[in-house]
Structure 1
Amino acid sequence: MNASPSQPHPAEWPETDGLLPAVERDLPTGRHQLHKERLMARIHEDLDTTAVAGPARTGTPSPRRPFLRRAVLLPVAACALAGAVLAGVGLGTGGDPGGADDLGTGPALTTTIGAADPGGVVQLLDRISLAARENAVPPARAGQFVYIESKVAGTHVRTVNGKTSVVSDALDTRRSWKSPDGRRGWLIDQAHKDGITLDSKVAPYLNAPSYDYLAALPADPDALLKKIYTETAGHGPGPDAEAFTTIGDLLLESYPPAGLSAALYKAAAKIPGVVQVNDAVDAAGRHGVAVARFEEKSGLRTEWIFDNASFAFLGQRTVQVQGTSGDGLIRPGTVVYTHAVTARAIVDGMKQAPSHPA
């Protein structure tokens, strides 16, 4: 299909010494980074609250600890529901993202399941790669910030007064700023309308990259894919699924240099199970052609959506296409998660909006 029989399966490549371990992830594509940012925000909130209240008395637990534990357990809950998103990020109602202001008050977002075609996906990714290479990405210097604005939405199972149902949350606008080295950051979303810091002392790595980290990654598709398989070995539902998820996260929550984006698309073409879907729609309502992969264990298909004419990356979504999840309540045609990138730019200051977003 899209993997050459003369080449070894990417998962069979030998491991490389000295690489950082991957982060455990069983969430649909794109959700890992959002959970990481939300958890980081909760940690900063906890530290701020502790600083205001002063040190806790002996034997008295921190008042913020249960809140932090809920943030940590979100991925576990999502795994138990076989991919059903339980976190509160926005979503629309019915087939039209947007609407309700309160979280979890709308009916489940649904869609028509598009037919998957494995035949032309390699050629499609070649065209997408070529378009990405020709689309120059401005370099980010020290003191500047990578700005990303997105529309995000999710579906979850909710129980109220003993009655369980599937609901979708109001569409949420996320705006993030990150320094090129990944040390400084700021996030504005539905849960943090006034914003919260994303400052970090953790060195960037594959599952939590900075702009500088991405710029240093190999631009050769084979070397890049080998690194991805090696660093994500043993995580997720399988090596191919995790490689596809990792590339999707890099496309969704970062601003890769043009050469790296092109290499990522070329690398994705080598992952077994990748197919083309002729029509998909992102959280902003934009239709496009999709590069997708179905995961049999969960019945979920993750779709990267591209503009039909320019092949620009629009966003991605995860759809239940077979079986059910969430105690059987999330059925085929349910959009479990959707994410549209509406702006990306390099800006000169934290909280600064770009004048000409990409």
Structure 2
Amino acid sequence: MNENPYPRDIPSPPDASPSPDAAASPEAPSSPEVPAAVERELPPGRHRVLREQLMREIENRTESADTSRPVAVRPLWRRPAFAAPAVAAALTVAVVVGSAVTQHITGPSAPSVLKDGDRSGGTPSDRSAAELLEGAAEAVGKRKPPAIEDDQFVYIKQEDYHWKMDEDLMGSDCASTKEGHPFGTREFWRSVDGKHAGLAREEQYGEIVKRRLHVLPRMKGFVSSYRQAEDELPSDAEGMYRYLYGAKAGKEPKAGDGRADRAAFEKGATLLAGQLLPPKVEAALYRALARIPGLTVYEGARDTVGRSGVSVGLAGWFNDYGQGRSRHELLFDERTSAFLAFNSVNLDPLDEECESLRVGGLVSSEAILKRGVVDRVGKRQ
């Protein structure tokens, strides 16, 4: 239930920023020197930013004048200058408009290998993804279901990271857009039953910004409260598996179709990162994710706060936030099997001056630091 909700949980808003690939109009004049733009599907990871934008738009439009101070505007992030010729052609006829601690690298001579302490994905393991996720499901099954009242609040503390918001990685002379990403420490108090106003508290470049979280109606395809997850999400592995693939009655999930597999993994990962789920639902989610083809286990992966663990990931994303090839991972504690973070890992080597993210570095990370139930807004565990 990230404010994207990361949601690392709702359909893309109709007024969301177009991707560079789709920015050019089909009516744009052609030229032998400018190749035609290539239409591509919106990268699955991009939906997290669009969800964040939609939630802010919904809340800001209903915000009363005396509720809280305005949200600070994020500074520009700089888009690396490695766009394909088709994207460059699109940008010549359209303007892309959006919403709202590592080594500094300035040139192409920077190494494309990670150093100790860098935010990173792990190394491939021969361990079974099904075994890892079954262990996580069993650990959840051992937890006693919490006694939760409707008038309580789910408290979440997380650390969000995106490398394009990292001043240590971005060169000052690189091309930029007005699109931003969740970044920094964020806290949320969300109503258990979805019928009480909550609160968001975020650290934005040295300032604490608070936003009232208004009561929203239940929306299909977007789980906005614990009770909605309890009422609407499957609590068995088969039902959850069909839910992730969006399989209609009488139809088999399109497992083995790369695009469908990525969409199912992204749906499950976003749900896991964004919500406090009932134990039976969370266990069913792990077992359903284990059935997605192409999963690989990685040892020694880290999240944005430096926690190390074992992850299960799926590769195949391209143009993930304009990044190129990437792999999405779910990071777990090696000892307890508890879920730690939802990461996106870069798979492309350095190519040009503005490509300062090395192979294996984190494109983004949603690290869950605390999550539980409290009696009132503002109270922490």
**Unmatched 5+ stretches in structure 2:** 1-8, 14-40, 77-82, 89-96, 105-116, 320-324
Distance 1:151 1:334 in 2: 17
Matched, 1:320 2:346: yes
Tell me which amino acid in the other structure corresponds to 1:321. L
Aligned to 2:304: 283
Q: Deviations over 1:293-335 (max 9, x none)?
A: 1125342111111111111111121111136799972452331
Q: Deviations over 1:150-187 (max 9, x none)?
A: 1111111898875449xx99961110011123243211
Distance 1:293 1:223 in 2: 22
Aligned to 1:4: none
For structure 1, which segment, 195-204 or 311-320, has the greater mean C-alpha deviation from structure 2 after superposition? 195-204
- CA positional deviation for 1:266: 0.2
Aligned to 2:236: 220
In structure 2, the CA distance between the partners of 1:163 and 1:264, relative to structure 1 (3 Å rule), is closer
Matched, 1:186 2:199: yes
Aligned to 2:210: 195
Q: Deviations over 1:21-43 (max 9, x none)?
A: 954894665x7456534543355
Q: Deviations over 1:206-251 (max 9, x none)?
A: 33432112112221111112122117999xx822111111111121
In structure 2, the CA distance between the partners of 1:115 and 1:163, relative to structure 1 (3 Å rule), is closer
* TM-score of the superposed pair, with normalisation by structure 2: 0.63
Q: CA RMSD in A?
A: 4.2
Distance 1:325 1:44 in 2: 40
For structure 1, which segment, 186-195 or 249-258, has the greater mean C-alpha deviation from structure 2 after superposition? 186-195
Aligned to 2:272: 251
**Unmatched 5+ stretches in structure 1:** 1-19, 53-63, 71-76, 96-108
Secondary structure of the residue aligned to 1:223 is helix
Q: Deviations over 1:64-112 (max 9, x none)?
A: 9xx8xx9xxxxxx9xx79xxxx9999xx4349xxxxxxxxxxxxx9545
Distance 1:274 1:340 in 2: 21
Moved over 4 A (4+): 20-29, 31-35, 46-49, 86-89, 109-113, 157-162, 168-171, 231-234, 323-328
CA contact (8 A) 1:93 1:169 kept: no
Distance 2:220 2:285 in 1: 16
Residue among 301, 311, 325 paired with 2:337: 311
CA contact (8 A) 1:117 1:277 kept: yes
CA contact (8 A) 2:241 2:288 kept: yes
Aligned to 2:124: 116
Matched, 1:131 2:139: yes
Distance 1:264 1:326 in 2: 40
Secondary structure of the residue aligned to 1:218 is coil
Percent identical among aligned pairs is: 25
Aligned to 1:146: 154
Distance 2:208 2:240 in 1: 37
In structure 2, the CA distance between the partners of 1:343 and 1:124, relative to structure 1 (3 Å rule), is same
Aligned to 2:377: 350
Distance 2:103 2:145 in 1: 36
Tell me which amino acid in the other structure corresponds to 1:319. V
* TM-score of the superposed pair, with normalisation by structure 1: 0.67
Distance 1:277 1:225 in 2: 23
In structure 2, the CA distance between the partners of 1:242 and 1:349, relative to structure 1 (3 Å rule), is same
In structure 2, the CA distance between the partners of 1:240 and 1:209, relative to structure 1 (3 Å rule), is farther
Distance 2:223 2:155 in 1: 16
Tell me the number of residue pairs that the alignment of Structure 1 and Structure 2 aligns. Answer: 288
Distance 2:293 2:353 in 1: 29
Distance 1:87 1:325 in 2: 26
In structure 2, the CA distance between the partners of 1:42 and 1:296, relative to structure 1 (3 Å rule), is closer
CA contact (8 A) 1:215 1:260 kept: yes
Aligned to 1:55: none
